[in-house]
Amino acid sequence: MNSTLSVSEYFSYFKDKRLINVFIFGMSSGFPWVLIGSVMSAWLKDEGLSRSMIGLFGIVFGAYSINFFWSPLIDRTKLPFLYNWLGQRRSWILFCQSFILLGTLLLAGLDLKANLAVAAALCLLIAIASATQDIAIDAFRIDTLSENESHKATAAAAMATSGWWTGYALLGAVPFYMADMPNIDWPQVYYFLSAIMLLLISCVFWAKEPQSNREAVHAELERVYLEKLAATKQTPLTKTLAWLGVTVVDPFKTFFAKNGVKTALALLAFIFLFKIGEAFLARMSIVFYKEVGFSNTQIANYSKLGTGLITIVFAFLGSIFNHKYGIVKGLFISGVAMAASNLMFSWIALAGPQEHLYAMAIVVDGFTQAWSLVAMVAFISMLCDRAFSATHYALLASLGNLGRTLLSSYSGVVIDDWLMGNWSLFFVLTALMVLPSLVFLFLIRHKLYSLEQNYHKNT
């Protein structure tokens, strides 16, 4: 925290080319959610599928909740040829983006209603590739700033957040405009999205691989493991055990040792609870807009273009607040805003398709998205050890994604079977889901303040 830093001094951070790279990779991280999220939901809705089926289609996002299982490989495995060409982080990003592009092209050539199982499999491919890409992108962002530059952490979080929303909302608005044009169908939209994905892939070659002493740390840890194994002679078995120890065991051991077991478990529980309500809303939002009577163009104007622009503006404003007053206070504010945002959508459900209410809800929702994401990205980054940045961030972020993916996949079932199609009550329920995390945040606030102070002590 730095309450004396002027706004102009803070915004000078954004001249750093490294943060521009963070923004671009943020776009690459957000864009796959268009491919298998909002656009896919709209396509499925237009094909006549039920809300429950559309909600269950979101199970593919479960890949984001379990990507920490293979995140150690992103820290340790060197891809043949690509590593020597691009380095550890960029090689994995390019590798994953190639599969995202392939999956998008195959979806474009698919008869969706006749091949739902194939479509689901392709969405799963994109989800796994995207979730793996996110591991490398988050590690790139953390590694790109040196340890004595933690004062730029909230600026980097703002760039990542605004980049994500540029990829998800601003680029995501285009397919909805296209869908309302005559003689353009959803497969043609997906061919266009493939072209956008190709442009994002080209940006990998523009970025610079961050410097890191990660490999030296890993080598020393392997040496310690070999000593513990009492290996007077290194054998393939002892080398394998040492490699597995550093790759699989040490990232988790380091996290719990750094924070203490009780605090670590408390942190994990808070991250899991924080965005469950928002996740339920997000999964069904496109279906709700279409059912309440908004057109694809209106959805593009408000939920995509409007939300994206507002979120980007508030991301920078939120990063200033978090930088001056602290990440923990930023989390409190965004949590309250999340509940208020969900209640706005409950009002729309009662009033019908009134554009002024839609616009008001989008402003509140954009504020919520911006502040919560900037605060959470900076918060999770603060908890990561740089020797295992990919693994640690993936572990923490995956808990946050758990509610957004596996649990929210049943949001359609909640509306259809539990609430009998009552959208207003559904959004009230999602607002109430925010409260447990705020109570939990209040109870552990002193530990979080201490962690935040320790994080900034070298600046």
**Quick one: pLDDT at residue 310?**
87
**Quick one: pLDDT at residue 404?**
61
CA dihedral 374, 375, 378, 379 (to 10 degrees): -150
- How many Cα atoms sit within 13 Å of 143 on the Cβ side? 25
**Quick one: pLDDT at residue 33?**
92
**Quick one: pLDDT at residue 380?**
84
- Residue 364 and residue 386: Cα distance in Å, rounded? 35
- Residue 165 and residue 309: Cα distance in Å, rounded? 8
Cβ–Cβ < 8 Å for 435, 339: yes
- Residue 369 and residue 385: Cα distance in Å, rounded? 26
- Residue 57 and residue 124: Cα distance in Å, rounded? 10
- Neighbouring CB atoms inside 10 A of 93's CB total 30
Which is nearest to 355 in space by CA: 411, 312, 301?
Answer: 301
**Quick one: pLDDT at residue 459?**
46
- Residue 242 and residue 248: Cα distance in Å, rounded? 10
- Residue 281 and residue 357: Cα distance in Å, rounded? 17
- Residue 232 and residue 229: Cα distance in Å, rounded? 9
CB-based contacts of 252-260 (< 8 A; 24+ apart in sequence): 252/391, 252/395, 254/385, 254/387, 254/388, 254/392, 255/383, 255/385, 255/388, 255/392, 255/395, 258/385, 259/383, 259/451
- Judged by DSSP in three states, 269 sits in helix
**Quick one: pLDDT at residue 121?**
93
**Quick one: pLDDT at residue 90?**
96
**Quick one: pLDDT at residue 455?**
65
pTM confidence score: 0.78
- Written as six digits, the tokens of 129 are 């590739």
Which is nearest to 151 in space by CA: 24, 53, 9?
Answer: 9
pLDDT < 70: residue spans in the chain: 1-7, 230-233, 279-283, 402-410, 455-459
pLDDT tens digits, one per residue of 322-335: 777 787 888 888 88
**Quick one: pLDDT at residue 65?**
78
Instruction: Scan for tokens 């925010």, then name that residue.
Output: 434
Cβ–Cβ < 8 Å for 242, 229: yes
pLDDT tens digits, one per residue of 109-125: 998 888 888 999 999 99
Q: What stretch of H or E contains 224?
A: helix 214-228
- Residue 72 and residue 75: Cα distance in Å, rounded? 5
